[in-house]
Chains A and B, each alone.
Chain A
């Protein structure tokens, strides 16, 4: 079945790197996404990766994709208190209008 899994919580110290992991089940998904949800707000697209890529870097963000293991990760370098939020990974299987979201990982950054 369709199931995207993430750990629920992650706590890091300010200035350290954060790594948020996700496993997905549909190996044919074309795009995989990371969304950020700040308290009391909706989700905002943080970054995405196309399925034919292994890595994508965007400033402090690095996305790694391991298609063989169906594993996606988001690394945030030099994590700041403003990065405290819930991070969702999502996939969009081909031939569908639907997005499948993970459970979300709550990142807490300690000063």
Chain B
């Protein structure tokens, strides 16, 4: 049981290049999230998904796109990378149960992205 994994761990891009970050979870979780972490700003939600085939915008969605074609995978795409997207990106997942459950989020180890 690997939990939440992220690929790649590190990446350096030039401005204007594109890339896709992959998040995979093996816990059969319904909900998945992409966050970015920047110094002094905590975690900010980029996009999230409440089930296969669904996506929704978070707090800072501009410049990013996502897809959830399979329940276990959540992809984050940067079509034209900008230096402002230099950050550490975290994926998280949780069960879809509600009604009193504390609904722990499980986090991946992160992807450190630098855009030059």
* Contact A45 B105, CB 8 Å, known A88-B42, A98-B58, A101-B42: yes
A103 touches B40 (CB 8 A): yes
- Chain B residues, CB < 8 A from A41: 109-110
Q: A43-81 vs B: 1/0 string, CB under 8 Å?
A: 111001010000000000000000000000000000000
- For the complex formed, measure the closest distance between the CB of A91 and the CB atoms of chain B, giving whole angstroms: 12
Cα-based distance from A50 to B45 in the complex (angstroms) = 23
Interface residues on B, range: 20 to 34
- For the complex formed, measure the closest distance between the CB of B42 and the CB atoms of chain A, giving whole angstroms: 4
B43 touches A101 (CB 8 A): yes
Query: Would you call B2 an interface residue if the criterion is a C-beta within 8 Å of the partner chain's C-beta atoms?
Result: no
Query: Would you call B20 an interface residue if the criterion is a C-beta within 8 Å of the partner chain's C-beta atoms?
Result: no
* Contact A98 B48, CB 8 Å, known A45-B104, A50-B102, A103-B41: yes
Cα-based distance from A48 to B104 in the complex (angstroms) = 9
- Chain A residues, CB < 8 A from B42: 4, 6, 88, 101-104
A42 touches B102 (CB 8 A): no
Q: How many A-B residue pairs have CB under 8 A?
A: 51
A97 touches B43 (CB 8 A): no
Q: B79-116 vs A: 1/0 string, CB under 8 Å?
A: 00000000000101000000000111101111000000
- For the complex formed, measure the closest distance between the CB of A101 and the CB atoms of chain B, giving whole angstroms: 4
Cα-based distance from A4 to B42 in the complex (angstroms) = 10
Cα-based distance from A92 to B56 in the complex (angstroms) = 17
A42 touches B43 (CB 8 A): no
- For the complex formed, measure the closest distance between the CB of A93 and the CB atoms of chain B, giving whole angstroms: 13
- For the complex formed, measure the closest distance between the CB of A16 and the CB atoms of chain B, giving whole angstroms: 25
Query: Would you call B4 an interface residue if the criterion is a C-beta within 8 Å of the partner chain's C-beta atoms?
Result: yes
* Contact A88 B43, CB 8 Å, known A31-B103, A97-B31: yes
B-side residues, CB < 8 A to A, are: 4, 31, 33, 35, 40-45, 48, 50, 56, 58, 90, 92, 102-105, 107-110
- Pick 5 A–B contacts, CB within 8 A, sort by A: A40-B109, A42-B107, A43-B43, A97-B56, A98-B58
Given A88-B42, A101-B42: 9 more A-B contacts, CB < 8 Å = A41-B110, A42-B92, A43-B90, A48-B102, A88-B43, A97-B56, A98-B48, A102-B42, A103-B41
